[in-house]
């Protein structure tokens, strides 16, 4: 959901690959489909550039995050005996919970229109 406003600007306003109604349709299908909801970017890539566009969108969107996750996981495993590791995990858990709660609150504010 955080990437949606920027995606709207780039795909609809800047590059004119699709219109806003089509983007909302692809986003809705991505939300309902099993798996990562951002798989909708493959559909946008397919719409904009065919099969190669879909592959390029997939690699460009998920590639950097996958590489970063791989590097952090290797470093995290290497620090298994580090005494601060447990403290970091316990300190990050509430941050994740509050980030999810904040996201849910902002979505609820937009969804609730009346009594």
Residues of the chain under the 50 pLDDT cut: none
**∠38-63-74 over CA atoms, to 5°?**
115
pLDDT at 110: 64
Residues 91 and 96: their CA atoms lie apart, in Å, by 9
pLDDT at 88: 87
Residues 60 and 54: their CA atoms lie apart, in Å, by 10
pLDDT at 56: 95
State the pTM of this model.
Answer: 0.61
Q: What Rg, from alpha-carbon coordinates, does the chain have? A: 18
Residues 61 and 54: their CA atoms lie apart, in Å, by 11
């Amino acid at each position: 959901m955080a990437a949606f406003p920027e995606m709207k600007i780039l795909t609809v306003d800047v590059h004119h690959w699709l219109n806003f109604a089509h983007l909302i349709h692809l986003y809705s299908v991505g939300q309902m489909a099993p798996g990562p909801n951002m798989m909708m970017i493959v559909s946008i890539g397919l719409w904009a550039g065919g099969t190669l566009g879909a592959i390029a969108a997939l690699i460009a969107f998920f590639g950097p995050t996958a590489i970063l996750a791989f590097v952090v996981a290797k470093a995290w495993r290497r620090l298994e005996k580090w005494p601060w590791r447990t403290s970091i995990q316990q300190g990050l858990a509430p941050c994740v919970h509050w980030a999810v709660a904040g996201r849910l609150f902002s979505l609820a504010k937009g969804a609730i229109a009346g009594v």
